[in-house]
Amino acid sequence: MAFLLALLIVAITAGLVWPLAAKMWWTPLLASAQGGDFDSHFLLSMVMCVIIFVPAQLALAYCVVAFRDRAGAKASYSHGNNFMEVLWTSLALVFFIGMNAKGQSMWYHQRMEAAPADSLMVEATGEQFAWNFRYPGADGKFGKTDFMKVDNSAGNPLGLDPDDPAGKDDIVTTTLVVPVNKPLEVILHSKDVTHNFFVREMRIKQDAVPGMDLRIHFTPSVLSKDLPPHPDGTKGEYEIACSELCGLGHYKMRAFMQVVTQEEYEKFLKEHAR
């Protein structure tokens, strides 16, 4: 029985580690400039975790077999070893805090430094269960909105105030179209409940909280047309998948994101200009 348990523990350990170590399972294609930080730190963290996880499980499996109840076996009478306690406490401390500290500096660069001055600004507004994206237009200014004027079926999902000159040239779309290799700042809003903006290829995620003005910035680096197709042969697209429970349509709250060349982006702006 001891052998069986040890075998099972080894199998479990392998079952968890092997598909990741052999890269049978890994994160999808990286498609943003800042996402490299995530990828490298995720790899490092996984390696560090494996360094603890595998020996710990194997030690358990070893103990189960080596110290099984056999004729003549005798347990030692020991209440512990202070040296060992101090050793592994300090090792664990250095280990966990060290890894943590490394990740923190990346977090700092991504979330606490302001977006580059030449960033393209887009407002993303979530609602049950859809996204609307707003571009400030030629004047670079977002017009006023009024929640009393919101009317999706009349084509004014954001409640743009028709009397505000700054809003006259605002473009509202349901697909996020952005130029490649240009820093992008997304201002996240929500009309009703908490939603979440997540693009897995960009390694970016942030809640959109009603009443709050939350900003993230990243730089898409791979054109939509260069995305690998889905396993079933359909065209691969960037998808913004809601990652915060928002109600019955949560699983369908998806918007597409298109990363295009600068020329295509300008054409898109012209087409949608009002």
Q: Which of residues 11-30 bind another protein (CB under 8 A)?
A: 12, 15-16, 19-20, 25-28
Stretch that binds another protein, among 114-122, 179-187, 196-204, 262-270 (CB under 8 A): 196-204
Q: Which of residues 151-190 bind another protein (CB under 8 A)?
A: 151-157, 159, 173-175
By the rule CB under 8 A, 33 interacts with another protein: no
By the rule CB under 8 A, 211 interacts with another protein: yes
Per CB under 8 A, the list member of 120, 166, 205, 269 interacting with another protein is: 205
Query: Are 256 and 211 in contact, with CB atoms under 8 Å apart?
Result: no
By the rule CB under 8 A, 3 interacts with another protein: no
Measure Cα distances from 121 to 89, 124, 136, 214 in Å.
Answer: 47, 10, 8, 13
By the rule CB under 8 A, 264 interacts with another protein: no
Half-sphere exposure of 84 (CA within 13 A, CB side): 4
By the rule CB under 8 A, 233 interacts with another protein: no
In the complex, least distance from residue 227 CB atom to another protein, rounded to whole angstroms: 10
Here the tokens at position 9 are 């523990």
In the complex, least distance from residue 65 CB atom to another protein, rounded to whole angstroms: 9
Per CB under 8 A, the list member of 33, 115, 120, 128 interacting with another protein is: 128
Q: Which of residues 90-109 bind another protein (CB under 8 A)?
A: 92-93, 96-97, 99-100, 103-104, 106-108
By the rule CB under 8 A, 81 interacts with another protein: yes
In the complex, least distance from residue 96 CB atom to another protein, rounded to whole angstroms: 4
Residue 130's beta-bridge partner residues? 127
By the rule CB under 8 A, 252 interacts with another protein: yes
Q: How far apart are CA 175 and CA 171, in angstroms?
A: 11
Q: How far apart are CA 238 and CA 175, in angstroms?
A: 10
Positive or negative: CA dihedral 55, 56, 62, 67 = positive
By the rule CB under 8 A, 228 interacts with another protein: no
By the rule CB under 8 A, 200 interacts with another protein: yes
Number of residues that bind another protein (CB under 8 A): 122
Instruction: Give the residue with the Cβ less far from another protein, 23 or 263.
Output: 23
Here the tokens at position 264 are 């295509």
By the rule CB under 8 A, 117 interacts with another protein: no
By the rule CB under 8 A, 68 interacts with another protein: yes
Single-letter amino acid code for the residue at 127: E
Q: How many CB atoms lie within 10 A of CB 163?
A: 10
By the rule CB under 8 A, 7 interacts with another protein: no
Instruction: Give the residue with the Cβ less far from another protein, 4 or 138.
Output: 4
Question: Which contiguous run of DSSP H or E holds residue 39?
Answer: helix 35-66
Sheet holding 238-241: strands in order across? 176-179, 254-260, 238-241
Question: Which contiguous run of DSSP H or E holds residue 189?
Answer: strand 184-190
By the rule CB under 8 A, 134 interacts with another protein: no
In the complex, least distance from residue 108 CB atom to another protein, rounded to whole angstroms: 7
Residue 259's beta-bridge partner residues? 178
Our CA angle for 4, 67, 59, nearest 5°, is 70
